[in-house]
Amino acid sequence: MLQKNYCMNILLENATSYTEKSKIQMLTEAEQAVVNDRMIGNLYQSALKKGNIDFDNIPFSKGDIQKVDGYENMLATLDVLKGLSKKFGIKIPEVEVVENAIVNLRTYRNIFEKGFGLNIEFLKMYYNTLVYACIESTSLILSSYVEFTRTVNNVEFQIKKGKGIYGNICIDNLRKFNESIKSGSFVKFANGLINKDTDNFLGSVAGAAKGVMALAAIGAVIVPVVRELIYYFYESRMMVSEYLQQQKEFIEMNKFRLEASSIEAQKRNSILNKQKSVIDKLEKLSDKIKVNQQLSNKNAENKLKQDNKNWNLSTVSGNDDGFMFI
């Protein structure tokens, strides 16, 4: 029975005839494992060709998100947003998604640190993209909040306001990461890479050796997260430092707000003037982030769809496996 997943769905979408679709649907479990294995390896390698993604100082943290510059401000930003949402009765479920991802990155720090220590390319890239996604997602939520406060007649704050407009690849993939942690898929896949249960996994065919079928199936869930994030960041025109600066300005603005509410009127004006200057910077950065994410999202989705069209049963299966469909 065909186990539909990211890879198989791409093949089914690209099937140009009933015969080809039927061949895909009739794949045995072993054949599905080999096709999955080959395809996720190829998809990952094609994504790596995007290259030149500037992760700023993230790789220097070597698997420990707590060592990333701006980590404390990111947590503080999420905490303030959570407090404001509670105070004003605004629903921001995306905050919980990002917070859970950060907790999961901390909880499984040892796995990511092993990835860096053993120089396992996939685990290093997975970590870098996930941390980057946490930083950008925090900034996107903040940008949306800034926009919301300008139009207070909005009934409900929301990130998504229609398909293809505000839906964000970073937040969506952080949600998938959290799900893979909850299901245990991430740990199984990561341990498979660390313990070398497969040969040249994600680089070439691992065959149907012990453990490969399970890893191939899980990989078809894990690898797409990295792939989609790589495409997204490749299309982005912003730096990690700009997201961190926006979060810094927000924390600064909130600090001034708290100070102004607790001192005498004579000194309050000076603080309020400083706060206004920070707000101006915050709004400019937030506007830039919203425009960038919309463009990056659209371009990344288009490029992914275009790249997906390169994959069909014949390009993945090859002619040397002796499968019944060859």
The list of the chain residues with pLDDT below 50 reads 154-156, 160-166, 198-200, 203-210, 319-326
Extract the tokens encoding 39: 């395809």
Contact 239, 52 (CB under 8 A): no
How confident is the model at residue 107, as a pLDDT?
98
- Which tokens in the block code for residue 140? 């996107």
Task: Kindly state the tokens that stand for 267.
Answer: 């000194």
Q: Tell me how far CA of residue 192 lies from CA of 43, 122, 124, 189, 200, in angstroms.
A: 19, 12, 15, 5, 12
Q: What is the pLDDT of residues 162-194, one digit of tens each?
A: 333 345 899 999 999 999 999 999 999 899 888
Q: Which residue has the tokens 């050796």?
A: 209
pTM of the prediction? 0.85
How many other C-beta atoms can be found within 10 angstroms of the C-beta atom of residue 319?
A: 8
Other CB atoms within 10 Å distance of the CB of residue 260: 17
Of 230, 228, 251, nearest to 70 by C-alpha is 251
What is the signed CA dihedral for 102, 105, 107, 110, rounded to 10 degrees?
-160
Give dist(CA 42, CA 132) in Å, integer: 23
263 CB neighbour count, 10 Å cutoff: 11
Say if residues 9 and 189 touch (Cβ distance below 8 Å).
no
What does the pLDDT read at residue 210?
A: 41
Say if CB 197 and CB 219 are below 8 A apart.
Answer: no
* % of the chain exceeding 70 in pLDDT: 79
Enumerate the domain spans of the chain: 6-237+291-310
> Could you tell me if 229 and 173 are in contact, meaning their C-beta atoms sit under 8 angstroms apart?
yes
Give pLDDT, residue 206.
Answer: 39
**From CA 240, how far away is CA 246, in angstroms rounded?**
10
The amino acid occupying position 146 is V
Give the count of beta carbons closer than 10 Å to the beta carbon of residue 231: 22
Q: Which residues contact 74 (CB under 8 A, 6 or more apart)?
A: 102, 134, 135, 138, 244, 247
